Chains A and B, each alone.
Chain A
């Protein structure tokens, strides 16, 4: 409205009240300050029982909303390295019993979030069925392998028995030492293999067998 300068106004300034040659305040070339000085001080706030009660209500309401399930926190950012303590921290945050269950008849169907709970009763039954035939197959394969090993080792047993006679003390000592060692500390490994032979002793011959 004011144009580019006082000399180029579209209307005569006398009418609006600015006389000729009068001192006008300088035109500002910056934005107004962020905290301008106040000429008049503001009126003090209302005090009294009503104001204080409403203040308390407001603060309590805000605090209560933070604890309700409606306060959605963003998902925790993924860490670069998986840490051992993550397993224990994750369980604490999922507290399904206090979660809010809306009446889904009043919401559009697409908003329903289907959660996969690993602790549900039905779920272990379902994945067990496809797993069971696989488990059976693995067991069968293992059994076949151990049987193969037993046959081969059974034939080489007699050979070993002859070889080890000259090395009785050392071999037996070693074997006994090995067996005792294995029996004391890693007992279960012996029963796991269940082939009665030494652990890894003859394995040079049976390269094509799986080494446990």
Chain B
């Protein structure tokens, strides 16, 4: 794990789970694999807190445990999964995607499961129905069956999956401890045959509106009742988690479709969308290209609303194939032409566009020209760079050295003689896309860390002011509940002076800016990560 990744994981754990979990998590990331006793000893935290933190991490799928190096008789060892911690940056995007595909119900289901890590179907349905009922006008309530149908649709399209079972789950009554699977080979959720099978539950009813007058008593009773009802619904022990990989495939498809629509036009992007949808189920996760589809099949699958006639379809397909971005490739002539979507090449092109735009925004358009030139021509000498880029020698030199010092461009030596004499060696400038993408990915992680730390700093600086405004809001709310006079309300509002109000406003503005910057950097992180993974898978 790189330094920036560890720092980012620590900040994300602290934001969502508190300082204790952050300490435990970062220590475990740095040490690799540890037992419970070793972890408690090295972090110098009380054993109870360490146990609770590990429970929280295991619940959210960020920590895996298994039999250690001493075999099944030895102590259990724990290991952190850094990727799933970094996915926390992308949670808003997952929730938003669920909303756009399956409406408010889908959005709330995914949000609840992300907040709690794993949940059973019945508890999810109940919680979501209650939340929806609270937002509805008085007198209406959400029926459980609607939520169940939204849940089933999410499972059918593989956005939700069952949590992988443990080996020792079935034998809790045996006296000997059955061996847990070794910590080095976690069971893949997809290897379980019932991964996407919905359990049969008999759950009927409607969401309950939470009445504020009943207070905490009703909540306590409801919570206890929910727990005892779980086992009666027939899906005890079957927990569901979010399938991040499926969401990532969806984002990748979205990125390709929007790139095609930017480069060509709307109709071509619809054709590519149809091709991707047809090959959703048949293409494995990190495949380099989709299954071959014939032109006839594509025509049949095209929605009539797009209004694309048969000869137009063929023209569009040939345009897509001839495009230098190489999104679509032709693999044969049977059935009117066999076409595939080149996933790996599309991702590589998207990553390349990201790199080029970073150089352009950082160093100017002429440096970007040199960078693009080196990407295309691979190896060039100093003189050739000046000639091809049509930039005067001095400026080209300056720009090249800046890029070299930032490590975006590398120098390659090619000797003419075995003794590497300087006068008899070629020195060529070159850009390697994969290492440069990795470098930029680490820069992105560092950027997000800096954004989070700046946000924490701003919040800490203005803590007094924020607390004051919260207290005043609470006072106002209680006054309004008891229907006080307008004079009292204005008096309370005036407790915050005008310059303080301005300060609060600017603080809110800054924090919003920092948060949305994090979201935007996460988009670049996703593109670069997918490109790197796809390259590694295709090797």
Closest to B180 in A: A108
User: What residues of B have a CB within 8 angstroms of the CB of A50 in the complex?
Assistant: 96
Cβ-based interface call for B327 (8 A): no
CA distance A74 to B48 in the complex (A): 11
Cβ-based interface call for B300 (8 A): no
Closest to B429 in A: A16
Using known A-B contacts A12-B423, A16-B382, determine if residue A71 contacts B18 with beta carbons closer than 8 Å: yes
Using known A-B contacts A64-B115, A106-B239, determine if residue A54 contacts B220 with beta carbons closer than 8 Å: no
CA distance A29 to B481 in the complex (A): 65
**A57 and B397: CB pair below 8 A?**
no
**B364 and A40: CB pair below 8 A?**
yes
Q: Which of B20, B46, B76, B223 contacts A110 (CB 8 A)?
A: B76
**Which residues of A in the span 152-171 have a Cβ within 8 Å of any Cβ on B?**
none
Closest to B385 in A: A17
Stretch at the interface among A95-103, A194-202, A203-211: A95-103
**A46 and B520: CB pair below 8 A?**
yes
CA distance A68 to B46 in the complex (A): 21
Cβ-based interface call for B480 (8 A): no
Cβ-based interface call for B211 (8 A): no
**B364 and A108: CB pair below 8 A?**
no
**Which residues of B in the span 161-177 have a Cβ within 8 Å of any Cβ on A?**
163, 166, 169, 172
**A103 and B53: CB pair below 8 A?**
no
Q: Which of B92, B114, B163 contacts A54 (CB 8 A)?
A: B92
Question: Shortest distance in angstroms between A158's beta carbon and chain B's nearest beta carbon?
Answer: 66
**A57 and B92: CB pair below 8 A?**
yes
Closest to B96 in A: A54
Cβ-based interface call for B289 (8 A): no
Q: Which of B17, B60, B361 contacts A43 (CB 8 A)?
A: B361
User: What residues of B have a CB within 8 angstroms of the CB of A62 in the complex?
Assistant: 15-16
**A110 and B92: CB pair below 8 A?**
no
Cβ-based interface call for B407 (8 A): no
Cβ-based interface call for B302 (8 A): no
User: What residues of A have a CB within 8 angstroms of the CB of B265 in the complex?
Assistant: none
Question: Shortest distance in angstroms between B521's beta carbon and chain A's nearest beta carbon?
Answer: 10
Contact with A along B33-63 (1 / 0, CB 8 A): 0001000000000101101111110111000
Q: Which of B59, B172, B515 contacts A70 (CB 8 A)?
A: B59
Q: Which of B239, B422, B515, B519 contacts A15 (CB 8 A)?
A: B422
CA distance A18 to B382 in the complex (A): 10
**A74 and B361: CB pair below 8 A?**
no
**Which residues of A in the span 25-64 have a Cβ within 8 Å of any Cβ on B?**
39-40, 42-43, 45-46, 50-55, 57-59, 61-62, 64
CA distance A146 to B220 in the complex (A): 52
User: What residues of B have a CB within 8 angstroms of the CB of A106 in the complex?
Assistant: 58, 118, 163, 166, 169, 239
- Report 20 cross-chain contacts, Cβ distance below 8 Å, ordered by A residue: A15-B423, A15-B425, A46-B520, A50-B96, A52-B516, A58-B91, A62-B15, A70-B59, A70-B117, A72-B20, A72-B52, A97-B219, A98-B219, A106-B58, A106-B118, A106-B163, A106-B169, A108-B180, A111-B58, A113-B51
Minimum-distance CB pairs A-B, first 10: A11-B422, A97-B220, A57-B92, A58-B92, A54-B92, A12-B422, A17-B382, A65-B16, A72-B20, A108-B76
Known: A40-B363, A54-B93. 20 other contacts (CB 8 A): A17-B397, A39-B364, A40-B362, A40-B364, A51-B519, A57-B95, A58-B91, A62-B15, A70-B116, A70-B117, A72-B17, A72-B18, A72-B49, A74-B49, A75-B49, A98-B220, A100-B59, A106-B58, A110-B51, A110-B76
Chain B interfacial positions (CB closer than 8 Å to A): 15-21, 36, 46, 48-49, 51-56, 58-60, 65, 75-76, 91-93, 95-96, 111, 114-118, 163, 166, 169, 172, 180, 219-220, 223-224, 227, 237, 239, 361-364, 382-383, 393, 397, 422-423, 425, 427, 512-513, 515-520
